[in-house]
Chains A and B, each alone.
Chain A
Amino acid sequence: MKTVVKELVVETEGTYYAVDLTSTVAEEVKKAGIKNGTVTVFSEDPLCPIFTIEYEPKLMSDLVTYVKKLSSDETKARLLAATVLGTSLTVPVVDGTPVTATFQQIVLLELNKEGGSRKIYLVIQGE
């Protein structure tokens, strides 16, 4: 079994900006040469959760609506959402590909007051 670690940087353009990481993660898994195992995707910034969702504009907008309802204060709502959604995600790798389904993307959501460069770590483990 081997472990490959990769650091990536993604740019976000402001609060609630979402980045679809699915194809990036799949490319890195392919490059790592690991056929079966797991990939853990971790966001260094605690207010940039990473999770699975169908990456579709109306649904992303619904998610933001949900986030805003978590508190009457929007700053607090964003803090709560970041910890509810979580900043790490582990996805199985089968035959060299992360097993996310057609309507299941790996997405990062910006919950800071401003956008910026956000560091992502991938830990790919397996054989």
Chain B
Amino acid sequence: MSKVYVKTFIIKTYGPNKLFDITDRVEKIVEESPVENGVVTVFSHGSTGALVRLKPEQVEDYSYALWDLVPIKGWQHPGNAYAHLRSTLISTKLTLPVINSKVVLGPARVYFVENQCYIARERHITVVVEGE
């Protein structure tokens, strides 16, 4: 019989171009869920953040590369178009396999990308674990 387990947590971020490691929070939710095998969907609320899976040693390069993906200037939407476009392009969701109650991540970790010029911004992240 399939099961579903849902939890939302909040992180405090700052930015722009900062990555926040949320792997431990996601792993804990998967471990406390009744699901042994299935998928976990991680979703960040809002339209300026993003979720990515990277190796820790790739984070610094990535944070600079974001300027190449979408430059800050040249848009019509006032102020933060670059952050919205990055969020849409990179996506606010990640779906990962769950095997034997563990998230399959390989050598990588899950990061929330803060694109906005904020200090102590609260970001809500919902995790859904589905399977048997």
Q: Chain A: residues with CB nearer than 8 A to chain B? A: 1, 36-38, 51-54, 56, 58-59, 61-63, 65-66, 84-86, 89-94, 99-101, 103-105, 125-127
Q: Is B59 an interface residue (CB 8 A)?
A: no
B128 / chain A contacts, CB cutoff of 8 Å: 36-38, 92-93, 126
Q: Is the CB of B47 within 8 A of A54?
A: yes
Q: In the complex, A104 Cα to B48 Cα: how many Å? A: 9
B interface, CB within 8 angstroms of A: 1-4, 6, 8, 41, 43, 45-47, 70, 74-78, 81, 84-85, 87-89, 91-93, 95, 124, 126-128, 130
Chain B nearest CB, measured from A26 CB (Å): 15
Q: From DSSP, what is the main secondary structure of chain B's interface residues? A: mixed
**Option from A36, A53, A90 in Cβ contact (under 8 Å) with B4:** A36
B126 x A99 contact (CB < 8 A): yes
Residues of A within 8 A of B3 (CB): 1, 127
Are B87 and A1 within 8 A (Cβ)? no
Q: Is there contact, CB below 8 Å, between A65 and B1? A: no
| A61 → chain B closest CB, angstroms | 6
Closest A residue by C-beta to B85: A66
Complex Cα spacing A108 to B47, Å: 15
The answer for the CA separation of A126 and B84 in the assembled complex, in Å, is 29
